[in-house]
């Protein structure tokens, strides 16, 4: 059910991000989602690649420090309050969001959000209660 | 000016000083032999007994004490007096986290304060003066030493401790401080603050004693011009007593060593051979009057030169140059001893690779310490909060170990420069 996300350690210096996107381009890897969390001195780049295995190997070979984690992709109605309803539901539960960001993909009037939460099983239960299901990698065309 | 606190010693002839040293050394070696089994074993290993030491000429026969000995003997192994006679400890950082703890009897504190009083009187302090002590108070010897010295001189003593610049300047102007004692970098900072606030007309300082860290002649001129005072150097180390082991006089051409208490030698740090006066080498001290922590032939690791040239101040005490460097890799940052090995110990304890780089710089006359650490796959997390928490823990562990704040910078692997396979551990950008 989960989608693989790759996190990369970023030093805060000029060209660091270009170096990584360049590497992925060379390996013909397409990015479906990207997010960065940073402090003044370093950051964490999180990506969802169309071929996560290939992306992982390319980054490791390049000497990057990475981590592969499962994340949950949820399709929410692409309309005002579409995300808000889902977040309100979570706010009332014990599930906390560690971080979230959006996927580039947008289809069938749905926007796709990437979630990393504290309690995955509970999160899934909550989703199904509200008629939502996590999106499979295959549905997004991810390997 | 030529004021002396204890003229009978400070202006004694070489023969008088030498006779005093001979007598005190013989007595001290016997005291150590009888009271410090750790050192007695070292003497036995070298085949030396107290009978072999008849005066300063025999000093070279005694074994050295190093920082390693202090660590091994921690905390009581080098104690030379019954604990019931000890009234004080002071402490400084050691090489691998174990701190150096020095003990003092009442008499030890007394002679240490005498040494500081000599330094204060040499810069013109009298019982009419207001002496602002802005060295740190606590385990650090700076505050306690100058505080005690100022009491002895009879100056009005302001026990300010370091930091809190607003309060420092308020007391300095309201109470009319005439003598300032602190680290040279803090003196420079106070000078800038005084100018920024337009307080130059309201300060009455005439002299300052600034030690515990390296400073250049340029910095001396800046402080002297900025504060309108004469700025004097002072030397000391916790192992030997604290500040006041040696002090500068009006001539400002080196520091007079209180050699009636501490006999200096200069050695070649590699061969341990004693070098003649005037040679550059490592400074070694033998304490001939201290009871509780009577270190004999303690290797300071400071590189300097001794001189017996006649001084215009009238003091006959031998002079040492400003330390020109270290024979080990110790750094002095903000007046605090920092050993790379301490940083390495913390990194390993916290699960970091021992691949690091220490960058020391001086920004606005204040030292900065930065530790670059390489990120590893094990430590990395997709959650930024985990990384910042980990980083905070490291900063806090370094603070505990070093006693000062070190900025931590996490860097990508293999970014720390290596030369011939060995990492360049220390980059000291300070221009002193």
Q: Which residues of B touch A38 (CB under 8 A)?
A: 384
* Average confidence (pLDDT) over B106-124: 98
Measure A24 CA to nearest chain B CA, in Å.
18
Q: Is the pLDDT of residue B421 over 70?
A: no
- Positions of chain A with pLDDT under 70: 1
Q: Which residues of B touch A64 (CB under 8 A)?
A: 412
Q: Which residues of B touch A63 (CB under 8 A)?
A: 412-414
Whether residues A9 and B383 touch (CB distance < 8 A) is answered with no
- Domains in chain A, CATH or no CATH each: 3-69 (3.30.2130.10), 71-140 (3.30.2130.10)
Measure B373 CA to nearest chain A CA, in Å.
12
Interfacial residues of A (vs B; Cβ cutoff 8 Å): 5, 7, 9, 11, 37-39, 41-44, 46, 63-67, 69, 98-99, 116
Confidence of residue B97 (pLDDT cuts 50, 70, 90): low
A65 closest CB neighbour out of B385, B388, B412: B412
**Which range, of B45-49, B142-146, B287-291, B360-364, averages the lowest pLDDT?**
B360-364
Whether residues A65 and B375 touch (CB distance < 8 A) is answered with yes
Confidence of residue B1 (pLDDT cuts 50, 70, 90): very low
pLDDT of residue A134: 86
Q: Is the pLDDT of residue B349 over 90?
A: no
Q: In chain B, pLDDT over 70 holds for what percent of residues?
A: 97
* Average confidence (pLDDT) over B93-98: 66
To the nearest 10 degrees (0 to 180), the angle between helices B141-153 and B106-122 is 70
Whether residues A11 and B415 touch (CB distance < 8 A) is answered with yes
Measure B401 CA to nearest chain A CA, in Å.
23
Whether residues B382 and A67 touch (CB distance < 8 A) is answered with yes
A5 closest CB neighbour out of B381, B382, B413: B382
pLDDT of residue B426: 86
A44 closest CB neighbour out of B376, B377, B384: B384
Confidence of residue B348 (pLDDT cuts 50, 70, 90): confident
Q: Is the pLDDT of residue B39 over 70?
A: yes
pLDDT of residue B335: 84
B362-398 confidence digits (pLDDT tens): 988 889 999 999 898 889 999 999 999 999 999 999 9
Q: Is the pLDDT of residue B232 over 50?
A: yes
Whether residues A116 and B382 touch (CB distance < 8 A) is answered with yes
* Average confidence (pLDDT) over B24-42: 98
Is residue A33 helix, strand or coil? strand
Confidence of residue B223 (pLDDT cuts 50, 70, 90): very high
pLDDT of residue B307: 97
Q: Which residues of B touch A98 (CB under 8 A)?
A: 383, 385
- C-alpha span between B258 and B122 (Å, rounded): 12
B104 or B347, greater pLDDT: B104
**Which of B374, B379, B382, B390 best tests the A interface by mutation, with the highest count of A CBs <10 A?**
B382
Q: Establish how many alpha carbons lie within 13 A of residue B34's alpha carbon, considering only the half-sphere containing its beta carbon.
A: 10
Q: Which residues of B touch A48 (CB under 8 A)?
A: none
- Domains in chain B, CATH or no CATH each: 7-328 (3.40.50.12780), 333-428 (3.30.300.30)
Measure A41 CA to nearest chain B CA, in Å.
7
Neighbouring CB atoms inside 10 A of A48's CB total: 26
A98 closest CB neighbour out of B375, B383, B414: B383
**Which of A36, A44, A64, A99 best tests the B interface by mutation, with the highest count of B CBs <10 A?**
A44
The 3 state secondary structure assigned to chain B is: CCCCCCHHHHCCCHHHHHHHHHHHHHHHHHHHHHHCHHHHHHHHHCCCCHHHCCCHHHHHHCCCECHHHHHHCCCCCCCCCCHHHEEEEEEECCCCCCCEEEEEEHHHHHHHHHHHHHHHHHCCCCCCCEEEECCCCCCCHHHHHHHHHHHHHCCEEEECCCCCHHHHHHHHHHCCCCEEEECHHHHHHHHHHHHHCCCHHHCCCCEEEEECCCCCHHHHHHHHHHHCCEEEEEEEECCCCEEEEEEECCCCCCEEECCCCEEEEEECCCCCCECCCCCEEEEEEEECCCCCCCCCCEEEEEEEEEECCCCCCCCCCCEECCCCEECCCCEEECCEEECHHHHHHHHHHCCCCCCEEEEEEEECCEEEEEEEEECCCCCCCCCHHHHHHHHHHHHHHHHHHHCCCCEEEEECCCCCCEECCEECCEEECCCC
Whether residues B412 and A43 touch (CB distance < 8 A) is answered with no
Q: Which residues of B touch A67 (CB under 8 A)?
A: 377, 380-382
Whether residues A7 and B412 touch (CB distance < 8 A) is answered with no
Whether residues B382 and A41 touch (CB distance < 8 A) is answered with no
Interfacial residues of B (vs A; Cβ cutoff 8 Å): 375-377, 380-385, 387-388, 409-415
* Chain mean pLDDT for chain B: 92
Confidence of residue B418 (pLDDT cuts 50, 70, 90): low
pTM beyond 0.90, yes or no: no
Q: Is the pLDDT of residue B332 over 80?
A: yes
Confidence of residue B142 (pLDDT cuts 50, 70, 90): very high
Whether residues B411 and A11 touch (CB distance < 8 A) is answered with yes
**Which range, of A123-132, B66-75, B172-181, B237-246, averages the lowest pLDDT?**
A123-132
Comparing alpha-carbon positions, the chain A residue that sits nearest to B415 is A11
């Amino acid at each position: 059910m989960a989608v693989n996300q790759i996190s990369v350690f970023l030093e805060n210096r000029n060209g660091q991000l270009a170096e990584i996107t360049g590497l992925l381009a060379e390996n013909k890897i397409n990015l479906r989602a990207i997010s960065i969390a940073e402090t003044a001195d370093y950051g964490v780049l999180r990506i969802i690649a169309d071929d996560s295995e290939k992306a992982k190997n390319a980054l490791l070979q390049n000497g990057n420090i990475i981590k592969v984690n499962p994340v949950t992709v949820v399709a929410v109605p692409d309309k005002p309050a579409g995300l808000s309803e889902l977040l309100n539901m979570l706010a009332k539960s014990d599930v906390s969001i560690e971080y979230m960001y959006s996927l580039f993909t947008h289809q069938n009037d749905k926007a796709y959000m990437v979630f990393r939460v504290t309690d995955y099983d509970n999160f899934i239960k909550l989703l199904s209660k509200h008629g939502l299901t996590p999106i499979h990698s295959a549905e997004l065309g991810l390997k | 000016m030529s004021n002396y606190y204890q003229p009978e010693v400070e202006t004694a002839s070489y023969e008088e000083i030498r006779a005093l040293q001979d007598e005190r050394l013989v007595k001290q070696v016997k005291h150590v032999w009888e009271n410090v089994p750790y050192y007695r074993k070292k003497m036995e290993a070298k085949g030396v007994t107290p009978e072999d030491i008849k005066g300063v000429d025999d000093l070279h026969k005694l074994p050295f004490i190093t920082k390693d000995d202090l660590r091994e003997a921690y905390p009581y192994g080098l104690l030379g007096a019954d604990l019931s006679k000890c009234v004080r400890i002071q402490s400084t950082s050691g090489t691998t986290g174990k701190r150096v703890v020095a003990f003092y009897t009442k008499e030890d504190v007394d002679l240490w304060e005498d040494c500081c009083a000599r330094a204060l009187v040499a810069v013109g302090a009298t019982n009419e003066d207001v002496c602002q002590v802005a060295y740190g108070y606590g385990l650090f010897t700076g505050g306690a030493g100058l505080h005690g010295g100022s009491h002895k001189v009879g100056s009005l003593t302001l026990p300010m401790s370091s930091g809190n610049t607003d309060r420092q300047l308020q007391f300095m102007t309201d109470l009319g401080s005439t003598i300032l004692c602190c680290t040279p970098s803090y003196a420079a900072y106070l000078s800038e603050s005084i100018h920024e606030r337009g307080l130059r007309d309201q300060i009455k300082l005439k002299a300052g004693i600034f030690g515990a860290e390296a400073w250049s002649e340029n910095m001396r001129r800046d402080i002297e011009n900025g504060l309108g005072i004469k700025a004097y150097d002072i030397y000391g180390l916790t192992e030997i007593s604290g500040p006041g082991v040696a002090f500068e006089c009006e001539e400002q051409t080196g520091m007079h060593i209180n050699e009636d208490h501490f006999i200096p030698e200069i050695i070649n740090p590699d061969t341990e051979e004693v070098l003649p006066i005037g040679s550059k080498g490592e400074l070694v001290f033998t304490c001939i009057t201290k009871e509780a922590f009577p270190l004999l032939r303690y290797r300071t690791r400071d590189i300097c030169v001794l001189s017996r040239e006649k001084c215009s101040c009238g003091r006959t005490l031998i002079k040492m140059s400003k330390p020109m460097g270290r024979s080990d890799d110790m750094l002095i940052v903000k007046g605090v001893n920092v050993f790379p090995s301490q940083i390495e110990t913390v990194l390993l304890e916290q699960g970091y690779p021992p691949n690091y780089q220490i960058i020391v710089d001086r920004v606005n006359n204040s030292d900065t310490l930065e530790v670059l650490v390489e990120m590893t796959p094990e430590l990395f997390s997709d959650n930024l909060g985990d990384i910042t928490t980990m980083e905070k823990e490291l900063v806090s562990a370094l603070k505990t170990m070093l006693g000062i704040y070190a900025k931590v910078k996490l860097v990508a692997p293999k970014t720390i420069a290596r030369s011939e396979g060995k990492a360049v551990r220390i980059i000291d950008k300070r221009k002193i």
